[in-house]
Amino acid sequence: MAGRNRTLVTEFLLIAFTEHPERGLPLFLLFLSFYFVTLLGNAGMIILIHKDHQLHTPMYFFLGHLSFVDMCYSSVIVPQLLAVLLEHGTAISQARCAAQFFLFTFFASIDCYLLAIMAYDRYVAVCQPLLYVTIMTERARWGLVAGAYIAGFSSAFVRTVTAFTLSFCGNNEINFIFCDLPPLLKLTCGESFTQEVVIIVFAIFVMPACILVILVSYLFIIVAIMQIRSAGGRAKTFSTCASHLTAVSLFFGTLIFMYLRDNSGKSSEEDRVVSVLYTVVTPMLNPLIYSLRNKEVKAAVRKALSRSKASGKPYEY
pLDDT tens, position by position, 183-224: 888 888 777 677 777 777 777 778 888 999 999 999 999 998
What is the value of pTM for the model shown? 0.87
Is residue 304, in this structure, part of any structural domain at all? Answer: no
The whole domain housing 80 covers: 11-260+269-294
Q: Chain-wide mean pLDDT for the chain? A: 84
Spatial CB neighbours of 126, under 8 Å, sequence gap ≥ 6: 220, 221, 224, 225, 237, 240, 241
Confidence of residue 308 (pLDDT cuts 50, 70, 90): low
What is the mean predicted confidence (pLDDT) over 300-313?
A: 68
**What are the pLDDT digits (tens) for 159-172?**
898 888 887 877 78
**What are the pLDDT digits (tens) for 216-240?**
999 999 998 888 888 777 877 777 7
Is residue 146, in this structure, part of any structural domain at all? Answer: yes
Is residue 152, in this structure, part of any structural domain at all? Answer: yes
Which of 17-26, 52-61, 96-105, 293-302 is the most confident on average? 96-105
How far apart (Å, rounded) are the C-alpha atoms in residues 225 and 236? Answer: 10
Distance of CA 241 to the CA centre of its chain: 19
Share of the chain above pLDDT 70, in %: 89
Is residue 73, in this structure, part of any structural domain at all? Answer: yes
Is residue 302, in this structure, part of any structural domain at all? Answer: no
Residue 37 has pLDDT above 90, yes or no: yes
Q: Which one has a higher pLDDT value, 271 or 89?
A: 89
Is residue 173, in this structure, part of any structural domain at all? Answer: yes
Strands 188-189 and 167-168: antiparallel
Mean pLDDT lowest among 19-28, 97-106, 111-120: 19-28
Work out how many domains the chain is built from and give that number.
Answer: 1
Query: In CATH, what number is assigned to the domain containing residue 156?
Result: 1.20.1070.10
Residue 260 has pLDDT above 90, yes or no: no
Is residue 112, in this structure, part of any structural domain at all? Answer: yes
What is the mean predicted confidence (pLDDT) over 47-73?
A: 91
Residue 3 has pLDDT above 50, yes or no: no
Spatial CB neighbours of 56, under 8 Å, sequence gap ≥ 6: 49
**What are the pLDDT digits (tens) for 147-156?**
999 999 998 9
Residue 252 has pLDDT above 80, yes or no: yes
Residue 309 has pLDDT above 70, yes or no: no
Is residue 290, in this structure, part of any structural domain at all? Answer: yes
Helix axes 231-259, 207-226, angle to 10 degrees: 160
Q: What pLDDT score was predicted for residue 112? A: 93
